[in-house]
Structure 1
Amino acid sequence: MKTIFAFICGAGLLGAAAFANPDPAVAVALNNPAAPAAEQVSGLAVPVSLRPVARKRMRVPDARWDNIDGSRSWSVAILQALRTHANELPDLVPKDIAKYCPAYPSAGRAQREAFWVGLVSALAWHESTHRPTAVGGGGRWYGLVQIYPPTAKFYQCRAKSGGALKDPEDNLSCALRIMAVTVPRDMVISRGMRGVAADWGPFHSRRKREDIMSWTRSQDYCTGLARSLRPVARPDEIGPQKNDTSPMPMPLGVLSTDGK
């Protein structure tokens, strides 16, 4: 009898030990009773959806050099600068902007960018007659807008040598880097020979300065013709006046509340 009792007690102790120290493999199975099978992926499946990404459209505005082959990339170089290191320029309203572009203050971003393209292209006509390899001042100034290499180095332009400044896109990118400093500093284009005029001689000549003004003012983006159609605020005289307390007239065809 004692033997049977001892056997039963021993079996109970073994069972308790088994519950206290379960088999790890069994525990994993119990904790994950319905582990899903690995998903079968076809070798032909595309890992990422090849949905085309919309590219930001860049409309190239009219410029004074448009008659020259390859000049479109010059305008694009200015637009790219206006969206990177010269991004602040279109946000500014220079104090003398009315002489260059009357529609500029009320224009949208695209029209303002177009003005800067037009202005630089008009300046380049007087600096180099649109010749990217032009060298002036006895070998001191280079490229489309005649930049002095030490000036390019001071403003940390990509093109820092005379030879590099003959690259039209790099020359224009450097010009916008300079203007991005001088125009915000002076808040003018040429008044008092500051702003853009601080670094470019044609603005110091009344004849050349007025020619640049005349050319930019004649462009659609400066006359307002190219402006997008925005909602216009309704004049005050249309609709009920603020201080008018008289009842609104009843529309025709609507019966009054008393049935008359």
Structure 2
Amino acid sequence: MRKGLMALTVLALAGCGAAEAGRRATTAPTIAPVERPSATDRLASAVGLRKEQPAMRWGEDNPEWTEAALSALQSEGVTLLSTVPSDVMQFCPGYARQTRENRAAFWAGLVSAVAHHEGAAQGSRWGLLRLSRPQSQEGACGAGEDGAGNLRCAVRIMAQEVGRDGAIAGGTEAQGGRGWRGVARSWMPLRSKEKRAEIAGWTRRQSYCR
């Protein structure tokens, strides 16, 4: 009889312990929800970009332009990342040994440096990089007033021209400018010796070109 009472007591205590454990489990604080990444972080994760944006000639005031250029370099302009132009040493001495991320940063930086000089252009050219309307149509671009769309268009045209000529810039002023190669086919600043030197000097100083 005494043994039976002791067994019942042990079972009762065990039941109380289980009930208490269950109560604690149901009343314990839940794990804090994971903070959802921002749109910038999601874009960076999707296309393999760094969170801290690389240096651009337009500065830090237009991050959406930087994102647009870098994103385009993972799609329309992706061939640029595996291309080593014949004159790349003038613009980016460390380009050949750089990662894809740094190569993308260079091309985006080059676009920003050209845009810096194109900003003062007038006349029939339009948009951030002053694309002419025939150029825009050839590159299947949207409205030139859309900065991000304009940059995507510029990257697409740049990939076509650098891929065709194997050079960033070069050529001659003879034949009405038809002798220019690479990016200089479409953007006037790279046809100017002074502006070309200034653009190359700026890109050479950036960390992604060392």
TM-aligned CA deviation for residue 167 of structure 1:
1.0
TM-score (norm 1): 0.58
More moved, 89-98 vs 58-67: 58-67
Q: Equivalent of 1:195, from 169, 178, 182?
A: 182
Output the CA distance in 2 between the equivalents of 1:210 and 1:86.
24
1:93 aligned onto 2:79? no
Output the CA distance in 1 between the equivalents of 2:56 and 2:105.
8
Q: Residues 137-216 of structure 1 correspond to what in structure 2 (within 5 A)? A: 137=123, 140-157=124-141, 159=142, 164-192=143-171, 193-216=180-203
1:217 aligned onto 2:201? no
1:115 aligned onto 2:106? yes
Matched letter for residue 145 of structure 1: L
Q: Let me know the Cα RMSD of the aligned residues.
A: 1.7
TM-aligned CA deviation for residue 58 of structure 1:
2.1
Matched letter for residue 126 of structure 1: H
Query: Residue 106 of structure 1 corresponds to which residue in structure 2?
Result: 97
Output the CA distance in 2 between the equivalents of 1:99 and 1:180.
18
TM-aligned CA deviation for residue 73 of structure 1:
0.6
Q: Is the 8 A contact 2:114 2:129 kept in 1?
A: yes
Query: Residue 56 of structure 2 corresponds to which residue in structure 1?
Result: 63
Output the CA distance in 2 between the equivalents of 1:83 and 1:172.
13
Q: Is the 8 A contact 2:49 2:101 kept in 1?
A: no
Higher helix share: 2
Query: Displaced runs of 4+ in structure 1, greater than 4 A?
Result: none
Output the CA distance in 1 between the equivalents of 2:145 and 2:70.
19
TM-aligned CA deviation for residue 204 of structure 1:
1.0
Output the CA distance in 1 between the equivalents of 2:80 and 2:133.
23
> Highest CA radius of gyration, 1 or 2?
1
Where structure 1 has 5 or more consecutive residues not aligned to the other structure, the ranges are 1-51, 130-134, 224-260
Output the CA distance in 2 between the equivalents of 1:204 and 1:180.
18
Q: Is the 8 A contact 2:144 2:150 kept in 1?
A: yes
Deviations, residues 33-85 of structure 1 (Å, cap 9, x unaligned):
xxxxxxxxxxxxxxxxxxx9984452221101115x3x111011011111111
- If asked which structure has higher relative contact order (CA below 8 Å, sep 6+), I would say 2
TM-score (norm 2): 0.71
1:84 aligned onto 2:75? yes
Question: SS at 1:61's partner residue?
Answer: coil
Aligned residues: 158
Query: Residue 127 of structure 1 corresponds to which residue in structure 2?
Result: 118
Output the CA distance in 2 between the equivalents of 1:216 and 1:155.
25
Where structure 2 has 5 or more consecutive residues not aligned to the other structure, the ranges are 1-35, 172-179
Output the CA distance in 2 between the equivalents of 1:154 and 1:75.
23
